[in-house]
Structure formats: C-alpha cells, structure tokens
Amino acid sequence: MECEYCDMLSGKSKAQSLYEDDAVIVAVKDMAYTPGQITIFPRKHFTILEQVPDEIMARCLAVADKTSRAVFEVFQAEGTNILIQNGLGAGQKVPHFAIEVVPRREGDGLNLQWQPKEMSEDDLDITAHQLAEEIQKLGDFTAPKKKEEPKEKKEIKIEEKESSNYLVKSLRRIP
Ligand SMILES: [Zn+2]
C-alpha cells in the first residue's frame, strides 16, 4: 500500500523528521495549511483512529501537546489547531492516522471557522438518544479497549445450542 508516512520512515518522501521514538514520529511536510505545521503519527501503520491502541494514542497526544509549544515559540503563533482528519470524508489525505498541529495567527487567512447551526429541540433529543444508546454499548471508558470476539463466540454458541435443541425437539415429533 502506498503511504506517504511509511515512505518517510524508509527515506522515500520529502517530509523531514523532527523527532522519533519507538512509537511516535514528528515531521514537517512540504504541504502545509500554514507555515510551521507539524504532523505527529504512530510509527506503526494505522489507517484511522479506531485502530490506534489507547496507549499509542496517549503518546501521540502528549507529543502533540509538547511540540505545539515549540510552534508557539518559533512561529510566534497566537494559537494552534490540533487537527485529526479521521477518514476520507473528513479530508484525510494520507491513509495513515496522524495529528496535525497547525500554527494560527489572526488574519492568517485560513478558513477553519466552521459555523454551527442551531438544532431544533426534537432533533437534539433524537440525536442525544441515538448517541447515548450507542455509547452505552461501548462499555466502561476507564478500562482499556477490549476485543469483542469472546462475546460474539458466546452468542454463536447459544444459537447453536438453541438450534440443536430445536432439531432434537423436531426429531422427537417425527413418528
Ligand atoms: Zn503508513
């Protein structure tokens, strides 16, 4: 698979590495929203946020925070946008999860000023209800991510048991 960030690690990209450790890379690319933009990404290839293990995400965020301070210092930024473009529909250009730190100054001409629209009370209720239901299914956020495979297997076993009972019952009815 073609990946600009994995290419960078093998020296095949114009991007320049500023910092590397066993899990996280910090780089500047030849394409930037504003001068001084830095990109933080995991050394291992993950396409989207959902695939990134909690501990690596925590490392990426800590590095984004620290390197954001360098952006303030070097470019006299008045703010930074810490940006994750998660998926094609969100403007993600490279298929490798990354956090962008974008230096901002008043009048820099960058239009990230999304205007929120007011929702009706009904729409707000429906949205909150749908999301709350889905979020509850995700379980305890204080626990590390768990694999859901055992649960699925258990469900399959129950189905098998029920279907075999059904088969036994059906067989008994056959004279
Ligand atoms: Zn990659």
Boundary residue ending a domain (78, 104, 130): 104
pLDDT at position 135: 86
Is residue 146 pLDDT above 70, yes or no? Answer: no
Which residues fall inside 5 Å of ion ligand 1, going by CB? Answer: 3, 5-6, 45, 96
Once rounded to an integer, what is the mean pLDDT over residues 115-121? 89
CA of 6 to the centre of ligand 1 (A): 4
| Nearest-angstrom CA–CA distance, 9 and 3 | 10
CA angle 24, 50, 61 (to 5 degrees): 35
Q: Where are any strands of DSSP class E within the chain?
A: 16-20, 24-28, 38-42, 79-83, 99-104
CA of 95 to the centre of ligand 1 (A): 7
pLDDT tens digit sequence for 22-74: 999 999 998 888 889 999 999 999 999 999 999 999 999 999 999 999 998 88
- Confidence class for position 90, pLDDT limits 50, 70, 90: very high
Q: Which residue has the tokens 């925590």?
A: 58
Counted domains in the chain: 2
Taking CA atoms, 13 is separated from 4, 17, 27, 74, 92, in Å, by: 7, 10, 11, 24, 18
Residue 114 lies in a domain: no
Boundary residue ending a domain (52, 76, 104): 104
The structure tokens listed for 139 are 């379980």
pLDDT at position 145: 58
CA of 170 to the centre of ligand 1 (A): 54
Calculate the average pLDDT of the chain. Answer: 83
pTM for the predicted model, two decimal places: 0.74
| Nearest-angstrom CA–CA distance, 157 and 172 | 22
CA of 43 to the centre of ligand 1 (A): 8
pLDDT tens digit sequence for 3-29: 999 999 988 888 889 999 999 999 999
pLDDT at position 121: 93
CA of 122 to the centre of ligand 1 (A): 42
Residue 131 lies in a domain: yes
- Confidence class for position 139, pLDDT limits 50, 70, 90: confident
Pairwise pLDDT comparison (169 vs 71), residue with the higher score:
71
Say what percent of the chain tops pLDDT 70.
79
Residue 116 lies in a domain: no
CB within 8 A of 98, min separation 6: which ones? 5, 39, 40, 41, 84, 85
| Nearest-angstrom CA–CA distance, 101 and 62 | 12
- Pair (13, 97) in one structural domain: yes
pLDDT at position 147: 46
